[in-house]
Protein backbone atom coordinates (compact mmCIF):
# COMPACT_ATOMS: atom_id res chain seq x y z
CA UNK A 1 0.00 0.00 0.00
CA UNK A 2 1.82 3.05 -1.34
CA UNK A 3 1.04 6.45 0.14
CA UNK A 4 1.62 9.82 -1.50
CA UNK A 5 1.59 13.33 -0.06
CA UNK A 6 -1.03 15.55 -1.71
CA UNK A 7 -1.74 19.27 -1.76
CA UNK A 8 -5.18 20.31 -0.53
CA UNK A 9 -6.81 22.73 -2.99
CA UNK A 10 -10.28 23.08 -1.47
CA UNK A 11 -11.99 21.70 1.60
CA UNK A 12 -15.63 21.14 2.47
CA UNK A 13 -17.29 19.67 5.53
CA UNK A 14 -17.05 16.09 4.23
CA UNK A 15 -14.39 16.05 1.51
CA UNK A 16 -11.24 17.62 0.12
CA UNK A 17 -10.13 18.49 -3.39
CA UNK A 18 -6.55 17.24 -3.52
CA UNK A 19 -3.81 17.49 -6.13
CA UNK A 20 -0.78 15.32 -6.84
CA UNK A 21 1.50 15.70 -9.89
CA UNK A 22 -1.00 17.97 -11.66
CA UNK A 23 -3.95 15.62 -11.21
CA UNK A 24 -6.94 16.48 -9.03
CA UNK A 25 -9.65 14.51 -7.32
CA UNK A 26 -12.21 14.81 -4.53
CA UNK A 27 -11.55 12.55 -1.53
CA UNK A 28 -13.45 11.91 1.67
CA UNK A 29 -11.89 13.55 4.73
CA UNK A 30 -11.33 10.15 6.33
CA UNK A 31 -9.16 9.11 3.34
CA UNK A 32 -6.70 11.97 3.88
CA UNK A 33 -4.30 11.58 6.82
CA UNK A 34 -3.42 14.50 9.09
CA UNK A 35 -0.08 14.80 7.28
CA UNK A 36 -1.91 14.98 3.89
CA UNK A 37 -1.01 11.46 2.80
CA UNK A 38 -3.41 9.28 0.83
CA UNK A 39 -3.42 5.79 -0.63
CA UNK A 40 -2.24 5.98 -4.27
CA UNK A 41 -4.92 3.61 -5.61
CA UNK A 42 -7.67 5.55 -3.84
CA UNK A 43 -6.28 8.80 -5.25
CA UNK A 44 -6.16 7.40 -8.79
CA UNK A 45 -9.81 6.34 -8.51
CA UNK A 46 -10.83 9.79 -7.29
CA UNK A 47 -8.95 11.38 -10.22
CA UNK A 48 -10.84 9.12 -12.64
CA UNK A 49 -14.23 10.14 -11.17
CA UNK A 50 -13.21 13.81 -11.10
CA UNK A 51 -12.28 13.74 -14.81
CA UNK A 52 -15.56 12.01 -15.66
CA UNK A 53 -17.68 14.52 -13.79
CA UNK A 54 -15.67 17.42 -15.24
CA UNK A 55 -16.24 16.18 -18.80
CA UNK A 56 -19.97 15.70 -18.15
CA UNK A 57 -20.20 19.25 -16.79
CA UNK A 58 -18.30 20.61 -19.79
CA UNK A 59 -20.51 18.78 -22.30
CA UNK A 60 -23.63 20.10 -20.53
CA UNK A 61 -22.27 23.64 -20.70
CA UNK A 62 -21.42 23.22 -24.38
CA UNK A 63 -24.98 22.03 -25.07
CA UNK A 64 -26.52 24.95 -23.18
CA UNK A 65 -24.43 27.56 -24.98
CA UNK A 66 -24.74 26.24 -28.54
CA UNK A 67 -27.55 26.53 -31.08
CA UNK A 68 -29.57 23.46 -32.11
CA UNK A 69 -31.55 22.61 -35.24
CA UNK A 70 -35.30 22.20 -34.70
CA UNK A 71 -38.35 21.36 -36.83
CA UNK A 72 -39.80 24.83 -37.56
CA UNK A 73 -43.50 24.62 -38.46
CA UNK A 74 -44.40 28.30 -38.57
CA UNK A 75 -42.51 31.58 -38.41
CA UNK A 76 -43.87 34.95 -37.31
CA UNK A 77 -42.25 38.34 -36.75
CA UNK A 78 -41.54 37.60 -33.10
CA UNK A 79 -41.18 33.84 -32.83
CA UNK A 80 -41.05 30.38 -34.32
CA UNK A 81 -43.40 27.44 -33.78
CA UNK A 82 -41.58 24.14 -33.35
CA UNK A 83 -43.07 20.66 -33.62
CA UNK A 84 -42.06 18.18 -30.91
CA UNK A 85 -42.65 14.48 -30.31
CA UNK A 86 -43.40 13.14 -26.85
CA UNK A 87 -42.44 9.47 -26.78
CA UNK A 88 -43.81 7.41 -23.87
CA UNK A 89 -41.19 5.28 -22.09
CA UNK A 90 -43.59 2.43 -21.27
CA UNK A 91 -45.75 2.04 -24.38
CA UNK A 92 -43.62 3.60 -27.14
CA UNK A 93 -46.69 5.68 -27.96
CA UNK A 94 -46.09 9.09 -29.50
CA UNK A 95 -47.87 12.37 -28.82
CA UNK A 96 -47.22 15.48 -30.86
CA UNK A 97 -47.23 19.03 -29.56
CA UNK A 98 -45.95 22.47 -30.54
CA UNK A 99 -43.95 25.04 -28.60
CA UNK A 100 -42.91 28.60 -29.35
CA UNK A 101 -39.42 30.08 -29.19
CA UNK A 102 -38.86 33.85 -29.35
CA UNK A 103 -36.83 34.92 -32.39
CA UNK A 104 -34.67 37.08 -30.15
CA UNK A 105 -33.27 33.88 -28.60
CA UNK A 106 -32.53 32.21 -31.97
CA UNK A 107 -29.75 32.71 -34.49
CA UNK A 108 -30.23 33.65 -38.16
CA UNK A 109 -30.95 29.98 -39.03
CA UNK A 110 -33.83 29.97 -36.51
CA UNK A 111 -31.99 27.66 -34.12
CA UNK A 112 -32.59 28.20 -30.37
CA UNK A 113 -29.92 27.81 -27.71
CA UNK A 114 -29.70 24.69 -25.58
CA UNK A 115 -30.55 26.38 -22.26
CA UNK A 116 -33.88 27.59 -23.69
CA UNK A 117 -34.60 24.14 -25.11
CA UNK A 118 -34.03 22.67 -21.63
CA UNK A 119 -36.56 25.09 -20.15
CA UNK A 120 -39.14 24.24 -22.82
CA UNK A 121 -38.47 20.51 -22.36
CA UNK A 122 -39.10 20.83 -18.61
CA UNK A 123 -42.36 22.70 -19.30
CA UNK A 124 -43.56 19.95 -21.63
CA UNK A 125 -42.65 17.19 -19.18
CA UNK A 126 -44.50 18.92 -16.35
CA UNK A 127 -47.50 19.46 -18.62
CA UNK A 128 -47.71 15.92 -20.04
CA UNK A 129 -46.19 13.86 -17.23
CA UNK A 130 -42.81 12.39 -16.45
CA UNK A 131 -43.32 9.27 -18.56
CA UNK A 132 -42.38 11.07 -21.76
CA UNK A 133 -39.13 11.76 -23.56
CA UNK A 134 -39.18 15.00 -25.59
CA UNK A 135 -37.73 15.02 -29.12
CA UNK A 136 -37.31 18.32 -30.93
Tens of pLDDT, residue by residue, the chain (136 residues) = 799 999 999 999 999 999 999 999 999 999 999 899 999 999 999 999 999 998 998 998 998 999 999 999 999 999 999 999 888 887 878 888 999 999 999 999 999 999 999 999 999 888 887 778 888 8
| Residue 27 sits in the same domain as residue 77 | no
| Residue 60 sits in the same domain as residue 104 | no
Domain that holds residue 61: 3-65
| Residue 56 sits in the same domain as residue 17 | yes
| Residue 84 sits in the same domain as residue 33 | no
| Residue 83 sits in the same domain as residue 47 | no
Query: What are 75-82's contacts with CB under 8 Å, separation 24+?
Result: 75/110, 77/103, 78/102, 78/103, 78/104, 79/103, 80/106, 80/110, 80/112, 82/112, 82/136
Give me the pLDDT at residue 21, please.
94
pTM as predicted: 0.63
| Residue 32 sits in the same domain as residue 86 | no
| Residue 83 sits in the same domain as residue 125 | yes
Number of domains in the chain: 2
| Residue 23 sits in the same domain as residue 51 | yes
Where would I find the H helices in 3-133?
Answer: 40-65, 114-128
Contacts of 73 (CB under 8 A, 6+ apart): 81, 82, 83, 98
Nearest alpha-carbon partner for 26 in 51, 1, 60: 51
**Beta strands at 94-102 and 79-88: parallel, antiparallel or unpaired:** antiparallel
How open is the CA angle 67-88-105, to the nearest 5 degrees?
Answer: 20
| Residue 60 sits in the same domain as residue 83 | no
| Residue 54 sits in the same domain as residue 84 | no
CA distances (Å), 49 to each of 3, 10, 11, 54, in order?
Answer: 19, 17, 17, 8
End-to-end CA distance of the chain: 52
Give me the pLDDT at residue 11, please.
92
Give me the pLDDT at residue 90, please.
79
Contacts of 53 (CB under 8 A, 6+ apart): none
Amino acid sequence: MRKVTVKIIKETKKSKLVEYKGQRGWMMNRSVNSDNQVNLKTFEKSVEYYKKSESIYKSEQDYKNSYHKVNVIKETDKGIMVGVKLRCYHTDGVKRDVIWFPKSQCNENLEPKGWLMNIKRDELVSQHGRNFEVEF
